[in-house]
Amino acid sequence: MFPGCELTASTKSYTFQVDKEDDSDHILALSVVCLTDGAKDECNVVEVIGRNHENQEIAVPVANLKLSCQPLLSLDNFKLQPPVTFRLAAGSGPVHLTGWHQIMHREDASFEEDDDLSEEEELPPIMPAKK
């Protein structure tokens, strides 16, 4: 479970990581980013820092919040692979992040793959548009 974290002027970043010895697959899903009590009417930019397909560190802004026009943002369970760092790149917050953490054990993943193969849907053929 990911109970969430709060980014402020004094705590600018939070890193979510899992045990390196763990051979399970982990998914961290970010649900909501919102300004909380005490926030100023300023731009608060939240970045996610992770690794790309070439294992290089990359920072991506995911939210730009301002109390007077957009105090919260739903990220619709934006899925990330730990380790991941959330950073308050601009503003003083406080910004609260919520989401969930799912652990998939290797034997569970192989079982689900077998199910997917047997339940493939047959797609209807694409028909030309009528004029």
pLDDT digits 0-9 by tens, 76-127: 988 888 889 999 999 999 999 999 887 877 665 454 555 555 566 677 777 7
pLDDT for the residue 120: 63
Quote the pLDDT of residue 70.
Answer: 94
5-117 folds as Jelly Rolls (2.60.120)
For 6, how many CA atoms within 13 A lie in the half-sphere containing its CB?
11
pTM: 0.72
Q: What is the pLDDT of residue 24?
A: 77
- What H or E segment, with its residue span, contains residue 28? strand 25-35
Query: Which residue ranges make up each domain of the chain?
Result: 5-117
Q: pLDDT confidence of 46, banded at 50, 70, 90?
A: very high
- pLDDT given at position 4: 85
